[in-house]
Amino acid sequence: MRSKSMYRTDIAIEFDPPLLFDTHNKRHKICKCMSSSEEQNIATLIEQHKTSKVGSLHWVHWLIVALSLLMTIGVWQYSKIQIQEKNENRFHREADQVITLIIERLQKYEDALWSGVANIQSHGGSVSFSQWNSFATALRLPEKYRGINGIGVIFNVPDTELADYLDSQQGDRPNYGIHPKHENPYRLPITYIEPIAENANAVGLDVAHEQNRLNAALKARDSGKAQITGPIYLVQSTERTPGFLFYAPFYRSNGAASATPLNVPERQKQFSGMVYAPFIVNKLMLGTLEKARRHVGITIRDDDFTLYNENNSDDQRFDKNPQFEQTFPLDIYGRQWQITIRSTTDFRDEAKNSQPTFILLGGILIDAMLFFLFLILSNANRRATLLANEISKGYQTKSLELEHNIKQLRESNKELEQFAFAASHDLQEPLRTLTSFTELLKSELEDKDNSPHVQASIQYINEAAERMRRLVLGLMSYSRIGREPELATVDCEKLLDNVLADLDSSINEHQAEISRSRLPTIKAYSTELHMLFQNLISNAIKFSKPNSTPHISVSCKDDGGNWLFSIQDDGIGIDPQQFDHIFLLFKRLHAQHDYPGSGIGLAKCKKVVTLHGGEIWIHSEANAGTTFFFTIPKTI
């Protein structure tokens, strides 16, 4: 029967031990067929089963690890997006800078052209070769206008004035001639160009011979504004690289320079010529946007013609798969350029950022550490549980003993308080008897014995009995503090008025002057607080300097979580060496005949402040007055 019982028990425990103890009925039935040792074994096995569960990871641990992993992935993705946005913003900044620099550079060249127009107008609408040379030299083109190929003058030469024009120019330059011949009804020869050395092939070139040059010239004439030509090849360029001309028109009326006419017919009629500048785009871009200063490649197109292109495999910085690419239309001086800007390999190198990778790897590492930490803590928790179970068995007994001792101690303290109160009360009766018999003895001896020694002895007995009575009363008062405290809302202004009324005779006797600040209304034990103020103020009066008027100040201020009260006097003060002792019972610093008292007053003050949960301390020096500070918490 025993082995059969054990067999059933083992089977039950192996599959689900808690089932054995789910209900009172099951537990009762199993206990009937087991011995006490078997029940103990089952309890031990169940405890081990519970302890093994403590050592495994809780679902909360798995949730924290999963959330941490999700957070890591989220931060990793967010970091990637942030860096992508940062790089995209950087690309747009560089692209905007490129567009802005191109516009600003052409505006600067336009200013040079208009200064040439102003120079011609200052000479009456025409200018000589030497005058133009002086003007161009003063511009300092290589220094101030990098990228420009030169600056020159184109005159509008009607057929009726052709002979005079050639005579005028050949006077200084015998070899000057207009070329090439063409069928267009306009004649717009390049008359001057500086510097002459690198632009010699352009001298005498009639820009009306080619449609792009002519169209821009006619638009400049009719609009009165600066214009650029469509794509051309400059005759002075030996490499036949794309370029364009930049025109600024000027006008004459009745043989003299005039301002730009207000309408197109007048402009066509008074059109005198143009100041122009030839540009090779490669040279322009070198002067405007040096590659070393940017991390993007530039392609400039005018219609289907490519003026400039860095975005090809011949460029060392070309990126086959650019991170960013965008085309910007740019309406500029009568033409529309398409400027394509692509990020380069330099941009890619600058944009490289390992932060997302570090975040991902760091997050995975932290998650792994967190997982292993949970494992370690779970194992430690299991060991701690085992240890706690062992310790708790011993502590249960000790806890019961401790609770019993605390109960006995509380009863003992209560009995001591009752004894102190009863003893103090019972001592008063013998004292009254002693005083009564002393007075009776004194009256009996008045007629029989006038010995001064006897009378002094009787007086001494009376005084001692009176001191003993005051001491007993003080002890009774001290023992009552906190016995049945009643927390109430206390108006400290009214409380101080009551204290001063109680001390009125003492105040008048010493002619004390008492000042006060505004005192608050607080939560406190009213009776005990009244005792505290009365003891401190009566001490300030009692320990005043001889033959002087006591000055006492009562104040309070908000000190965060406490009310900070202070009672200051200008009396005889206290030696700082006595600060640690003055709040002890029966501690006196002066002789009885100098300053009578029981030595209990400050001990009562300390007990009252402690009852409120506050603190009391003192600042003083001998013969320099005393200030008592104490705090009353705002929440008791």
Q: Which of 530, 553, 541 is nearest to 605 (CA)?
A: 530
pLDDT of residue 435 exceeding 90, the answer is no
Please tell me the predicted confidence (pLDDT) of residue 351: 82
Rounded Cα distance, 58 and 51, in Å: 13
Q: What is the pLDDT of residue 313?
A: 84
**Which strand (E) or helix (H) includes residue 5?**
helix 2-15
Mean pLDDT of 84-92: 92
In which band, very low, low, confident or very high, does the pLDDT at 602 lie, cut at 50, 70 and 90? confident
| CATH number for the domain formed by residue range(s) 101-288 | 3.30.450.350
Give mean pLDDT, residues 81-98. 91
Average pLDDT over residues 585-607: 68
Label residue 229 by pLDDT band (50, 70, 90): very high
Residue pair 248/226 in contact by the 8 Å Cβ criterion: yes
Quick one: pLDDT at residue 246?
Answer: 97
Q: pLDDT band at 15, cuts 50/70/90?
A: very low
* pLDDT exceeds 60 at position 11: no
Task: Look at residue 33 and tell me whether its pLDDT is greater than 80.
Answer: no
Provide the pLDDT for residue 603.
84
Query: Residue 343 has what pLDDT?
Result: 92
Least confident of 95-104, 421-430, 524-533, 621-630: 421-430
Which pLDDT does position 247 carry in this prediction?
97
Q: Which CATH superfamily is domain 484-633 in?
A: Histidine kinase-like ATPase, C-terminal domain (3.30.565.10)
In the chain, the percentage of residues whose pLDDT exceeds 70 is 77
Question: How confident is residue 405, by pLDDT bands cut at 50, 70 and 90?
Answer: confident
Of the two residues 244 and 361, the one the predictor is more confident about is 244
Is 539 a residue whose pLDDT tops 60?
yes
Q: List Cα–Cα distances, 259 to 274, 276, 632, in angstroms.
A: 13, 18, 93
pLDDT exceeds 70 at position 543: yes
The yes-or-no verdict on residue 111 having pLDDT over 50 is yes
Contact 243, 280 (CB under 8 A): yes
pLDDT value for 218? 97
Task: Name which of 158-172, 413-427, 495-509 the model is least confident about.
Answer: 413-427
pLDDT in tens, 50-68: 555 555 677 887 888 888 8
75-85 as b/e, with b when 16 or more CB fall inside 10 Å?
A: ebeebbeebee
Sign of the CA dihedral running 132, 134, 138, 141: positive
pLDDT band for position 614 (cuts 50, 70, 90): very high
pLDDT of residue 205 exceeding 70? yes
Residue 135 has pLDDT above 90, yes or no: yes
Q: How many CA atoms lie within 13 A of 33 on its CB side?
A: 14
- pLDDT averaged over the chain? 82
Residue 103's pLDDT is: 92
Q: What does the pLDDT average to over 196-209?
A: 93
Choice among 40-54, 198-212, 355-369, 544-558 with the minimum mean pLDDT: 40-54
Is the pLDDT reported for residue 446 higher than 70?
Answer: no
* pLDDT mean over 40-46: 54
Residue 143 confidence (pLDDT): 86
What secondary structure letter does DSSP report for 623? T
Say which residue, 505 or 457, is predicted with more confidence. 505
Going by pLDDT thresholds of 50, 70 and 90, the confidence category of residue 333 is very high
d(CA 134, CA 132): 5
Average of per-residue pLDDT across 574-599: 67
Cα–Cα distances (Å) from 65 to 61, 76, 363, 379, in that order, read 6, 16, 11, 17
For residue 216 the two structure tokens come to: 């821009």
Mean per-residue pLDDT, 400-404 = 81
What's the mean pLDDT in 586-600? Answer: 59
Q: Is 599 left (phi over 0), alpha (psi -120 to 50) or beta?
A: left
Is the per-residue pLDDT at 213 higher than 70? Answer: yes
CB of 545 closer than 8 Å to CB of 591: no
- Segment 47-51 shows an average pLDDT of 54
Q: Is a pLDDT exceeding 50 seen at residue 76? A: yes
Which residue, among 297, 294, 341, 293, has the nearest Cα to 318 in the 3D structure?
297
Cis peptide leading into residue 195 (ω within 30°): yes
pLDDT band per the 50, 70, 90 thresholds, residue 236: confident
Where in the chain is CATH 3.30.565.10?
Answer: 484-633
pLDDT at 447 (0 to 100):
62
Q: What is the mean pLDDT of residues 23-42?
A: 48
Q: Where in the chain is the domain with CATH 3.30.450.350?
A: 101-288
